[in-house]
Amino acid sequence: MERRTIGATALEVGAIGLGCMPMSWAYTGSQQRGEESVRALHAALDRGTNLLDTADMYGPFTNELLLGRVLRQRRAEAFVSTKVGLLVGDQHVVANGRPAYVRRACDASLRRLQTDVIDLYQLHRADPEVPIEETWGAMADLVRAGKVRALGLCAVGARASRRSGTGVGRPVRGGLHDGTIRQLDRVQQVFPVSAVQAELSVWSPEALERLLPWCEARGVGLLAAMPLGNGYLTGTLTTGGGFEPDDVRARHPRFTAEMMAANQPVVAGLRRVARRHGPEVSPAQVALAWVLSRGRGVIPVPGTKREKWVRENAGASALVLTEGDLEEIAGLPGARGSWD
């Protein structure tokens, strides 16, 4: 698999990463598939898909424990990317960016992951009650202590509030990246940012407007979260909607039956491009190859708990889209179904 570097660091990873969230969180049935997930993790490492993206919050905690089972045997092959700053409370997901908490959370993640160093430690959400410089300073101390190799910041969710948690899980769109850029400018004064994680896909390209140029100008990598549009862009979902209440798509405006039907032209376009490259090429691979084509510093982290999707997604690194393909994708209708 093609290798890419994380921003200006010397850290190299396979061009396609693995989002581990669906193994324990956010999608219906996640918790019941532990053994399948372990097989998927081994399959990923076998193929050079070595960036494994998790968070202490996924599960909570069980996602890191699952990774730990594999890292115990194969730590040297993996690039471990986890996150801090969000907690699952009784009613809501809440932010905690207090330095003492960050230090404790890092030690707990290291124990669960069965490793002595985290390759990329990301701030999941800024805590509105703690100056971000304080949180970031505590994370920088973890690098100095040798517990962490590089720092990243997530721009995927909206505001997190210790009090209410309102808005957590809602993707940031368009101009909302302005707030992330302000945060990034502030934390850069404290310690270098090596990577930003943000939603980026054919149907959510907003990060290309200001966030990716910000990253490219400063040698910061971009981890593309949700590169398959929560599964929609793969063309494998039925258009009936009706997700279980524990599935993030049950509350996602693009996953009502009406919007899933309305957005079919996007999937049809990806399918047309895939067919031109041969019967073995899938819309998912086209969607991932498009993300890869956005810049050398962009690394998609498609999420899955299935070995067969890990294999398929890894194959996207060998798919080179033509100018004609890219023009056709650029001409697809914008996605319908908005958070606003």
Ligand X SMILES: NC(=O)c1ccc[n+]([C@@H]2O[C@H](COP(=O)([O-])OP(=O)(O)OC[C@H]3O[C@@H](n4cnc5c(N)ncnc54)[C@H](OP(=O)(O)O)[C@@H]3O)[C@@H](O)[C@H]2O)c1
Q: Is 63 in the site for ligand X (CB under 6 A)?
A: no
| H or E segment and range at residue 282 | none
Instruction: Tell me the C-alpha to C-alpha distance, in Å, between residue 170 and each of 86, 132, 340.
Output: 14, 20, 10
Find where tokens 């990598």 sit.
Answer: 221
Which SS3 state, helix, strand or coil, does residue 88 take?
strand
Q: Is 85 in the site for ligand X (CB under 6 A)?
A: no
Helix axes 34-46, 62-74, angle to 10 degrees: 40
What is the nearest approach in angstroms of ligand X to the Cβ of residue 330? 20
Judged by CB under 6 A, the residue of 73, 236, 264, 338 near ligand X is 236
Q: Is 302 in the site for ligand X (CB under 6 A)?
A: yes
Instruction: Tell me the C-alpha to C-alpha distance, in Å, between residue 52 and each of 16, 26, 44, 245, 265.
Output: 10, 17, 9, 27, 32
Closer Cβ to ligand X, 152 or 324, answer by number: 152
Strands, sheet with 51-53, edge to edge from the N-terminal-most edge strand: 18-19, 51-53, 79-84, 118-123, 148-154, 195-199, 221-225, 298-300
Q: How far apart are CA 240 and CA 234, in angstroms?
A: 15
Judged by CB under 6 A, the residue of 6, 13, 21, 150 near ligand X is 21
Burial of 109 (0-12, 13-18, 19+ CB in 10 A): buried
> How many residues sit close enough to ligand X to count as binding (CB under 6 A)?
31
Judged by CB under 6 A, the residue of 110, 113, 151, 228 near ligand X is 228
Closer Cβ to ligand X, 8 or 237, answer by number: 237
Judged by CB under 6 A, the residue of 87, 93, 226, 329 near ligand X is 226
Binding mask 308-337 for ligand X (x = CB under 6 A): -x--xx------------------------
Among the listed ranges 41-49, 107-115, 257-265, 305-313, the one in contact with ligand X (CB under 6 A) is: 305-313
58 flagged as catalytic:
yes
What is the nearest approach in angstroms of ligand X to the Cβ of residue 156? 3
What is the nearest approach in angstroms of ligand X to the Cβ of residue 118? 14
Find where tokens 């299935």 sit.
Answer: 306
Among the listed ranges 2-10, 105-113, 135-143, 227-235, the one in contact with ligand X (CB under 6 A) is: 227-235
CB 89 within 8 A of CB 165: yes
Among the listed ranges 69-77, 207-215, 221-229, 327-335, the one in contact with ligand X (CB under 6 A) is: 221-229
Residues recognised as catalytic: 58
